[in-house]
Amino acid sequence: MIQRRRILQALAPVPAVLMGGRAFAQSAPIRILVGAPAGGSTDTLARTLSIEMGRLLGRTVIVENRPGAGGNIAADAVAKAAPDGNTLLMSFTSHAINASLYPSLPFDPVKDFTPLTCVATSPSVLVAHPTLPAKDVRELIALAKAKPGKLNFAIGAVGSSLHLAGDAFKMQSGAYIVNIPYRGTAPALQDVLAGQVDLMFAAVGNAQAQIRAGKLKALGVTSAKRLPAFPDVPAIAEVLPGYESSAWFGLFGPGQMNPELAKRLSDAARQAIATPDVKKRLELEGAVPVGNSPDEFARFVQAEIPRWAKVVKFAGAKPE
C-alpha cells in the first residue's frame, strides 16, 4: 500500500510555484517565440540567450519560430498568452515600426506586453558599389542633390529598420534617392555587389566581409558614434546631426505579468547577456549587448514608436 502511494505521488503533476499570486509552472518549458525565420539574427540571438537563461533558471527554454507579417504573428500569440512566464517574445525593431506601418493591429504594442530587457542593438552601415563617385556621406548627399532620382537604394524588406534607415537619411538630408525593393536582404546585397544598384543600408554582420575585401565601399555607420570595427568609417551623424538608426532586439512577456515574476525573468536574461558566450555571439552578429532594466526598456519602446512613425509617414511605407 505504501509503495502504491509513492508511485501515485511520483506520477502526480509537479505543482506550480506561486510567485506573487501567479503560478510559475516549473514542469512546463519556457517558450520564446520569434517572429522571424530560423537562421536570422533574431532567431540566433534567441537561441543563444535561451541556453543561458535555461541554465540560470533551472528550466528548459525552447525557441519557436512563427514568422510572418513583420513579426506580428508571434507578437499576437504572446499578447494573448497567459502571463505566467512560460511564453515570451524575442522581438525586434519592427515591434515599434509596425505600430504605424500597419493600419490596425490585433494587439497594443505597449499595453499588451511586459518589457523585460533590450538584448542588443545592431547598427547598420551605408554601403555602395566601389564605382560610385562619392567617398563619404557628404559627397553622396551632394551627388544625390545634383542628380535627383538618379541614385537608388536596394531595400531588403519594405517596412524594415534597414528600409527606414534609408528614408530617415533622405528625410534629414533632403536628398532624393529611389528605393528598389527586394524580397530579402541577400538578393538586395548581391545586386549592390554586382553594381546593379548604387546603395544599401546593410547590417554590419552581413556586409563587413565584403567591405574588408574591397567589394563594397562603406560611406557611414548609423550609430551615434563610430564603430570599433570600422574606426575609419564616419558616423552619418557627423554630417547629419542627430541621425541614428540602429535595429534592436528585445525580450517581452505578455501584458499584466506579475512584477516579481517579470523581474526574475529579466534578471536571468540580463545575466545571460553578460556571459562571455552570449557576448561573443552578439559580436559575431555585429550587435552591441544592452541588458537594461524593464523600466528602461519600457521607456525606450515608448519613445521608439513615435520616432519611427515620423519616418513611416515620410516614406509612405505600406506592409507587403
pLDDT of residue 320: 67
* Nearest-angstrom CA–CA distance, 308 and 314: 10
- The number of angstroms, rounded, from the C-alpha of 150 to the middle of its chain's C-alpha atoms is 31
- Walk along the chain (320 residues) and give the pLDDT tens digit of each residue: 444 444 334 333 333 333 433 445 556 899 999 998 888 888 889 999 999 999 999 999 999 999 988 899 999 999 999 999 999 999 999 999 999 999 899 999 999 999 999 999 989 999 999 999 999 999 999 999 999 999 999 998 888 888 999 999 999 999 999 999 988 888 999 999 999 999 999 988 788 899 999 999 999 999 989 888 889 999 999 999 999 998 999 999 999 999 999 999 999 999 999 999 899 888 877 788 999 999 999 999 999 999 999 999 988 878 76
Residues 80 and 132 in one domain: no
Nearest-5° Cα angle at 19, 15 to 24 = 45
Rounded to 10 deg, the angle between the 41-57 and 276-284 helix axes is 180
Q: Where among 205, 238, 271 does a domain terminate?
A: 238
Supply the pTM of this predicted model: 0.82
Residues 30 and 71 in one domain: yes
Q: What burial class does residue 109 get, using C-beta atoms within 10 Å of its C-beta: 0-12 exposed, 13-18 middle, 19+ buried?
A: buried
The CATH number of whichever domain residue 56 belongs to comes to 3.40.190.150
Residues 75 and 133 in one domain: no
Non-local CB neighbours of 9 within 8 Å, separated by 6+ positions? none
Residues 268 and 220 in one domain: no
* Nearest-angstrom CA–CA distance, 50 and 106: 27
User: Could you write out the DSSP letters of every residue in 218-287?
Assistant: EEEESSSS--TT-TTSPBGGGTSTT---EEEEEEEEETT--HHHHHHHHHHHHHHHTSHHHHHHHHHTT-
Other beta carbons within 10 angstroms of residue 122's beta carbon come to 24
Q: How many domains does the chain have?
A: 2
> Is 320 among the domain residues?
no
Residues 167 and 107 in one domain: no
What backbone torsions phi and psi does residue 229 show, to the nearest 5 degrees? -70, -25
pLDDT of residue 2: 40
Rg (the chain; Cα; Å): 22
Residues 84 and 196 in one domain: no
How crowded is the C-beta side of 44, counted as CA atoms within 13 Å? 16
pLDDT of residue 20: 39
The CATH number of whichever domain residue 139 belongs to comes to 3.40.190.10
pLDDT of residue 228: 82
Residues 10 and 108 in one domain: yes
**How far is the CA of 23 from the CAs of 16, 112, 255, 258, 284, in angstroms?**
5, 19, 15, 10, 37
Residues 131 and 82 in one domain: no
Ramachandran sector of residue 53 (left: φ over 0; alpha: ψ -120 to 50; beta: rest): alpha
* Nearest-angstrom CA–CA distance, 144 and 177: 7
Non-local CB neighbours of 159 within 8 Å, separated by 6+ positions? 70, 94, 97, 98, 101, 312, 317, 318, 319, 320
* Nearest-angstrom CA–CA distance, 58 and 237: 44
Residues 20 and 128 in one domain: no
How many residues belong to the chain? 320
Residues 228 and 131 in one domain: yes
pLDDT of residue 158: 82
Query: Where in the sequence is the domain holding 287, given as residue range(s)?
Result: 2-122+246-315
Q: Where among 199, 215, 238 does a domain terminate?
A: 238
Q: Where among 209, 238, 267 does a domain terminate?
A: 238
Residues 106 and 192 in one domain: no
Instruction: Map grid coordinates 504573428 to a residue.
Output: 73
Residues 257 and 118 in one domain: yes
How crowded is the C-beta side of 77, counted as CA atoms within 13 Å? 20
pLDDT of residue 27: 65
